Every structure is written in structure tokens, then in C-alpha cells.
Amino acid sequence: MEGSPSMLDAEAVADLVLLDPLTEESLVQTLQERFRRHDIYTYIGNVVISVNPYQALPIYTPEKVEEYHNCSFFAVKPHIYAIADDAYRSLRDRDRDQCILITGESGAGKTEASKLVMSYVAAVSSKGEEVNKVKEQLLQSNPVLEAFGNAKTVRNDNSSRFGKYMDIEFDFKGEPLGGVISNYLLEKSRIVRHVKGERNFHIFYQLLAGASPQLLQQLKLRQDCGHYGYLNREISSLPGMDDAANFHTMQDAMRVIGFSPAEVTELLEVTAVVLKLGNIQLSSSFQASGMEACSITAPQELREICELIGLDPSRLEQALCTRTVKARDETVLTTLTVPQGYYGRDALAKNIYSRLFDWLVNRINASIQVKSNEQRKVMGVLDIYGFEIFQDNGFEQFIINYCNEKLQQIFILMTLKEEQEEYVREGIQWTPVEFFDNSIICNLIENSTSGILALLDEECLRPGVVNEDTFLTKLNQLLAKHKHYESKETQNARHITDISLPPRCFRIHHYAGKVTYNVTGFIEKNNDLLFRDLSQAMWAARHALLRSLFPEGDPQKVSLKLPPTAGFQFKSSVAMLMKNLYSKNPNYIRCIKPNDTKSAMVFTPELVLAQVRYLGLMENVRVRRAGYAFRQLYGPFLERYKMLNRRTWPRWNGGDREGTEVLLAGLAFPAEELAFGHTKIFIRSPRTLFNLERQRQERVSELATLIQKMFRGWRCRTQYQLMRKSQILISAWFRGHRQKNRYKQIKRSTLVLQAYARGWKSRRLLRELKSQCRRQAAATTIAAHWRGYQARRTYRKYFRSSASTRLANFIYWRLVQRYLLGLAKNLPPLSVTDRTWPQAPYRFLDKTNQELKNIFYHWKCKKYRDQLPPSRRVQLQAKLCASELFKDKKTLYPKSLQQPFRGDYLGLKQNPKYQKLHAVAKDKLVMADTVRKVNRANGKTVPRLLLLTTEHLVLADPKAAQPKTVLSISDIRGVSVTRFSDGFLALHLKEISTVGAKGDFLLVSDHLIELVTRLHQTFEATTGQALPLHITDRFSTHFLKGDVSITVVESPKAGTDGPVCKKKGSNKMEVLVH
């Protein structure tokens, strides 16, 4: 295997469990040798030790990611990718939540290690548009949090000044869904002060260096870092760090995460407010009562701050220079001294930035957290401060070291104790390793009644004079007998002289060593007090983000209850973190800083040795060496290594444990190297495990060779059969091709022979034909001469007598031919309205020309009629019939030429009222119109509906739509109309009919021409005879009481509405028409 030579190298073993002899010096020497070889990662079992090289190494390429993807943990060289892959596969395949604990000093590379873990998981997880978006958001949270939470320290140019724990959540397929970030103990004191050579948080320098002039003007900032008091009025630029580029990177990251432009602007405005608060200067003055007071020296900065947050400057100035104190029912406004004013200013700046950072983390969580309720798997990554021992250790170091004690407790409980308990559960005998259980130290700090944090909170809440001396006195009283606590007073009581322990200090014996803490500032930092006036001033601002950071400033929600102390908050956060870590399978990355100068590839053994002690690496190695380095369930172990024994390969039919025993019995390992538990196989030395892996790889190689041999044989046989089949096919085609070519050659030869034979026959036939043609030509010539002689003799005798007649006939037919050909070229258009025709060129052709003109016109009309649709043809036939009936006979006829015959003027089909009228006739409708019926008695007219069908004529009442009279077409004997332009007609009926017995009908119609025409056509179609039509001014009608003579007179007295009928006695009627 690739990693085996490095694992077994005596000078630089890759797994410190194999180190012999095991001492602190040999362990550090091994780390130094591997570091010299650029092997910065080392194992202690499944714990990864990472030594910061302070330079970029080519070991994080995509090829390396692929190399460690789905690879056995011990099969390759130690790498952070190996533990990341092992944790990811355990989460994905075994459904076990994971956590990766990254610990070490500041500058040891913890932040970079967490980035590498996240980038590896993002690289090996599934791809997809939504998945890539989630991965990108998780990765882009780092630049944002680093800008606001990291700073340059004397030990590290990019030191995380807060603890970060990120839960990355996956679905059942191992695809990332989102995450949740928790932050712990932001070092907010860095806002107001930091030592020379260090910097404030990166965001301030990035904002000043990378913001555009317009943005700086909007935020009322200058680009000069030396202008700002919180930046120590220094121009602090770091070599190798481009603040402007990092600012743009942070803005891009915010866009990816989902920050809106308004949110980014509000975030930068609050950041600018914190920066400008440091430039507010106070001066001292005395009131008339002699009390000292403070006031703002230069109000310009104050006004700019208030413009940014939308607050009255006087309100903020009053909050900074005075304090409201409530005593019972009274409220007293007291002035502040200059130190108190600066304390309030700095407390406000620290609180604003701390709360802004919490809001930033919550806002990122809102974007990256999982929205769905599906079942999730979790991988936690903890990047938190390492154990710190400085020359002067204060409250921050006390809190940080307490957190590291809790992490060490997790390491002890979940690694060392679990190691021993597993042997007991599996029934494996071994010699227990004695280790230090630091729970006594954790109890010393966090005990709810007598712990240091509880005593500190009690002292902060106690009325009366409270300071660090009273707190230290209480510690000395209650903890004097604790073996892990000491102070100057307890040493004096024990008669111990130790000049290294100052008077105002106490010392705790941590698992990583003794740390002396100076109690100065403990009370103040634990209280973390912010005056209520400042909270209310911030809540009164019109800036939405800043206002939301101070909900307790709402005057309606004023509470006299003191806020929880910083120590209590951190203790609660650590307890929640521990509970979260206990629920997951731990993976450890121990980061080591090789030197204090951040020099590339420089290793300081003394510094590394101190960190080895802090990290408790020796205890971890001892446990691993005393016990069994590898253990696995029988089933997976047998499945992985069963090919090493012929009895277990390829399939074992018995139990997993029996199969494992048979497998290992055939490999001849020493008995002390193996132990068989109830459910697992234990292997003492990793060397034995590596030997197993090496044999497995060799056997896998043999099996692969066998598979390849069988596959190659199959492939060759298949290829041979394919080649043989192809050869047969090619041979068949070749033989066919050769036979075809031979046939073509024979055919060509035969054709040549046939051609020559046919040519010989043709030439012989040609000669015979030529001879015959010559004989025929000679005979023809003789016959021609003879016929010519005969013709000339006949011509002389007969032709001259009739020559003129023959010549005239010839000329006549030539003229007729020329006329007809010219006429064919100049025919008139085919339009039936065009009656033009060319003139005859000769008078003898006039009659012929006229006849041709008539024939052509009738032909055009026939063509036109053939193209007409049936409906149009019927209309034209009706028009033609009307022409035959009324042309030159009735004055009304010319007016009807332009009016189309519609037939149905009532709309029977559309009007449901008239449907029953059509049903009465029970035959096809020909015409429907409104007419006026003349009363036979008095000559008055009444409206009637007239329906003409193929067999009946119906008169109906228009209001009731009921038929009044129904006539059969055969009952009509004739029709009489006038010759004027009126619509008057008389309908003569046969007297033998039922209706005709009552007399003839006198009607007036607006469509007289169409009505009479259609009646004529219908009568002719029904009876086979023409309808008798009389066009006259005087005619006789038959009424019920006798015949009546009707005289039609054209008179101006007639109205335009129609004819006027007047009865003249009993036998006469006069009709006046217009």
C-alpha cells in the first residue's frame, strides 16, 4: 500500500502508536523529522496531528481529493482529508452523526483545518444545482465570519477571536442540505484596546481600504487608519494580506449567502458607528455643586454618528455623559466623570459590535439552515481557541482554558474511557492505563455552589463594596484545601514560598499545566455592564438594524432584573456545546504551532513539547499502545479479508466469528496480536493490520489478474469468433465478386462477338438494300418521266380550259385560312359582358364572321354557367324567368334588376315564432314575405305573411303567426298585374276549389317581380304548365258575390306606401297607383 513505507519508517513513523521507545522527546523528534520531510500530518490511531507549515503545500489539489475519496483510513499517507473522508463515510453509510474537534493554540492552523474539512466534504459530496448552491453558501460563510471575527495577533495574522461550531446537515444520500453556526465568547475587548503590533478586527481595515469613495462618504469615514482611536491611530497593513481584495471577497460572499443590498448597507453603517465611537473625546469640568462632570470635546464625530443612526445628538450626548439611577421610587440623574464616560463609551462600542456579530451569525443561519423537515444527518466542525498561558492571564484566558478543560474531558470520556469500556463489553482482558481525569478541575470551575464561576457571580451580585480583592479572599476561604487551586495566601498557610505567584493572583493546576490568573478586571468583565441610558438611546435610533440589537432599551419593557453575567452565559453555552458533542461520534484534529515567528518550515522543539503536553498526546498514545489499535465487527472484517484464506473464499457458510477465526488461523499471526471479542475482532498492532492490508492487496491483485486473464481469454475468443465470421463473410463476398467479374468478362466478350456478327449481317443487308434502292430509284425515275410525259400531254389537252376556276378556288381558300388563323390569335376576352368581335377583313366573310361571333358568345356563356355554384344558378334562372315574363311589359321590372332574389324575407329559420308556419306546409319553402291583402268589400288592406312552398301558398296573421288561408298551387288558375311600377296583383283561383269558392285574392307586395316569378316557376314545376299571366290595366276578378271589374289608373293621388283601392259600386273597383 502507498502509505506502508512511511508508516513503518523507524525515524518518522506515520502513526505514533508504532513509536519505540515512547517518550516526549522521541515523539517531538518524530514530528520534527516528518515536518522536515514536509509530512505535516501524523496519526495517533485515528487522531490526526497537524503541524502548521506557514506556507502553501501542494497537497490539497483535486487529485489529492480523489486519492483520499472512499479510501481506507490507514491505506494512504496521513492527511486531514483522510479523517474528513472517514467521518463523511461514517455519516453517509453508517448513519452516525459526526463531530470533528479541531483544537490547538492560536496560530496552529485551526481555522485553515476547518476550511479544508468543509472544502473536502463539499468536493466529494454529490453534484447538482441545488446542492452546489448549498455548498457554496456554507463555504462562503467563512470569509464573512473571518472579516468580523478574526484579527492579527502577535502569534497569528488571521487569528479567530471567537469560537465557532458549525453543524453541517446532510440528507440520507449524503448531500448537504444546509447548516447551523454557533459562536462562543467573541473577544469584544479587542474593539477598544489591543497591544502594539496587533490589529483590531479585520473588517475595519477592509472597510477603509476596499470601500469606494462614495461608500466612505455615505458612511462618513476617512480612508486613513491613523485617524481612528480604536485602531491605535496606526496605519496597520499586513504583508501578504490585501484588505481591499478581502473586502470585495466578503461582499461577494454576502451576495452568495443571500444578504440584500439594504442589509449590507445597514451592517456597514453599524460597523462605521463602532469605529467612530472611538474618536469621541471627553473633557472634565466641575458643576456649581463642586461635582466633577464630563462633556464631549469635539461634537462633530457625535453629529456624524447620530446622522448615521437617525438619533438626536443631544440624546446620545446625555447618555454618554450622564447616568440615570433609580432608587426606590425616585429617579436621579447623575453626572459621570471622564473615566466613567470613557468606560460607558467603550462599553457601548463593545456591546454594539458583539450584538452585531451575533446578528450576523443568526442572519447567516437564516440563509443556510435547512428549511424542510426531512430526517437529517449532522457533521459538526468545532474551531475554538486552544489552551492559553501568557505572562499575564486574565478573565478571557480563564474562560478559554475552562472551555479547553471541558473539551479535554470529552476527549477523556469519549476516547480513553470508551477505549477501556469497549474492552470490558467485548470480554477482552488487558492492562488498564492510568490517566488523569480532569473532571475535578472542571468541577472546581463550574460547580454551581462552590465553583469559581459561581463565586464570581455571587460576588458581582453582592451589595456593598465589591472588588477583585474581596473575590480573591472568598476564593481563598472556600478553595484553600483544593489540591488544584493555590494563591499567595494558601501558599503562606502551607508555608510554601513561591515568588512566581504575585499577590493579586490565583493559580489552577490544569491538565495542560499550571496557569496563574490575575484577578484584576474579573468583576468588571464578568458584569459586562452597559448603562440603561445607552441601551435606551440605541433603541430610540431610527436605524432599523441598530434598534433591533437593543430590545431591552424599549421604555415599555424596562426591567430592574440584572442581565446574566458573561461567565454564566459562557458556562451555559459550553454546557449546550458539550451536550451536542456527546451525541455525536468524535473525530480529533490536534493542531500544533511549530514556532512563534510564523516562519515557514521552522520547528522549535521546546514550543512543540509544551503544546504536546497541553493537548495530552502522550496519554492518547499510551492508551493505544497498551490496548488494541484496531477493532472491527466480524461481519465487515470477514467480508473484507475473506479472500486471504481458501476456506473462506469465495463464500463462507458459517457464522461470522467462526469464519474470522478460520481466516486468521490460516495467516499464522502471533496469538498476542489477536483477541476475539463477543462481536468484534481486535488487532493489537497497526503493523499487523498493515500486513493484513498488504496481503489483501496482493490477493486482490492476484484475483484481479485472474479476472483479467479470464476476461482477456473471453475477449480473445469472442474476437476470434467475430474475425472467423467476418473472414467467412469476406470470402463469400470475394468469391461472389470474382464470379461476377468473370461473368461480366464473358458477357463483354459475348457482346463483342455478337456485335461483330450483327455488324457483318447488317453490312451485308445494307449492300443488298442499297442495290435494291438503286433498282427502285431507276424504276421510279423511268416511271416519273413517263407520268410527266402523260401529264404534259393531258395538260395540253384539258387543263387550260379550267385554269381560272382552279386558281380562284385556291385564292379563296387561302384567304379563308388566313382569316381563321388571324381570328384565332385575336379572340376577345372571355367575359360574358364583353360583346366585342373583330371585323371581317373581306365582305364575303361577313355572314361567317357574324355566325362565329354568335357561336363564341354562346360558348362563353356556357363556360360561365358551368362555373356558377348551384345557388347562383338558381338565382339567375329566376332572373331569366322574370326577364321573360316582365321585360318591356311592366314599368317595375327595370328597378328589380339590381335587387337579388332572397326568397326568405322573414327569417323563418332564425325566428322561432315562425317555425310552426313552416311546419304547416310540410314541404320545401320557396319564398316568405310580408304582403298586404285587399279587402274585397271596402278595398282596405291588412298585412299578411305569405309563405310560398313547392306545393302550397299560405297567408298568415303576422301577430299570432297563425295561418289564415292555405292554397294548393294547383288551385291557382292565373295572375293579373298592372303595367305600372306598383306591387298590385290579382290571384285568380279555380272556383271548384274550397278556397276559390270565396273569390280571388287581391294582394300588394313590395317584391312583386320575385313573387310572381317564383310562383310561375313553382306552378310550372307542379302542374307542368305555364302560369297564365295577364299584364293589363283592366281585368275581371271573381268574388263571392259575383264578378268585379278592376280598373288600374296611374294618379298622383296614390301614396308612396302602395296602391289605393276604391270600390265603385258592387261590380267595379278602381286602383290608383303612383
Residues labelled as active-site residues: 106-107, 111, 156, 159-160, 386, 388
- The conformation of residue 935, written as its DSSP 8-state character, comes to P
How many of the other CB atoms lie within 10 Å of CB of 857? 15
| Distance in angstroms (rounded) separating the CA atoms of residues 594 and 616 | 17
With a CB cutoff of 8 Å and minimum separation 6, the contacts of 770 are none
Cis check for the bond before 21: say yes or no (omega within 30 of 0).
yes
Quote the CA–CA distance of 594 and 615 in Å, as a whole number: 14
What φ, ψ does residue 664 adopt, rounded to 5°?
Answer: -75, -30
Distance of alpha carbon 1018 from alpha carbon 1012, whole angstroms: 10
Q: Say how far residue 85 (Cα) sits from the centre of its chain.
A: 30
Say whether 599 sits in a helix, a strand or coil.
Answer: coil
- What are the DSSP calls for 963-1024, one per residue? EEEEEEGGGEEEEEE-SSSS-EEEEEE-TTSTTGGGB-EEEEETTHHHHHHHHHHHHHHHHS
Distance CA 614, CA 609 (A): 9
Q: Cβ of 638: how many Cβ atoms within 10 Å?
A: 25
Identify residue 264 by its one-letter amino acid code: V
Q: What dihedral do alpha carbons 955, 959, 962, 963 form, nearest 10°?
A: -10
**C-alpha neighbours within 13 Å on the C-beta side of residue 443:** 8
- Which grid cell sits at 41? 500530518
- 1038: its cell numbers: 271573381
CA 53 – CA 592 distance, rounded (Å): 10
Q: Which residues contact 377 (CB under 8 A, 6 or more apart)?
A: 91, 92, 95, 97, 169, 170, 171, 172, 174
d(CA 1040, CA 777): 104
Dig out the grid coordinates for 790 from the structure.
Answer: 402523260
Question: Could you give the CA distance from residue 643 to residue 637 in angstroms, rounded to a whole number?
Answer: 11
In angstroms, rounded to a whole number, what is the distance separating the alpha carbons of residues 963 and 239?
114
d(CA 6, CA 75) in angstroms, rounded, equals: 11
- Measured CA to CA, the distance from residue 127 to residue 1069 in angstroms comes to 108
- Cβ within 8 Å of residue 138, ≥6 positions away: 118, 122, 166, 168, 176, 178, 179, 368
Could you give the CA distance from residue 644 to residue 646 in angstroms, rounded to a whole number?
Answer: 7
What φ, ψ does residue 211 adopt, rounded to 5°? -75, 145
- Angle, alpha carbons 43-44-46 (nearest 5°): 80
- Taking the CA atoms of the chain, what radius of gyration do you get in angstroms? 61
C-alpha cell at 135: 455548498
Contact 354, 367 (CB under 8 A): no
Say if residues 511 and 441 touch (Cβ distance below 8 Å).
yes
Rounded to an integer, what distance in angstroms lies between the CA atom of residue 327 and that of residue 415?
Answer: 55
Strand pairing report for 41-44 and 47-51: antiparallel
Task: Tell me the residue type at 106.
Answer: S
What whole-number distance in Å separates Cα of residue 676 and Cα of residue 682? 6
C-alpha cell recorded at residue 625: 499502545
Between strands 485-487 and 377-383, the pairing is unpaired
Backbone angles phi, psi at 639, to 5 degrees: -65, -35
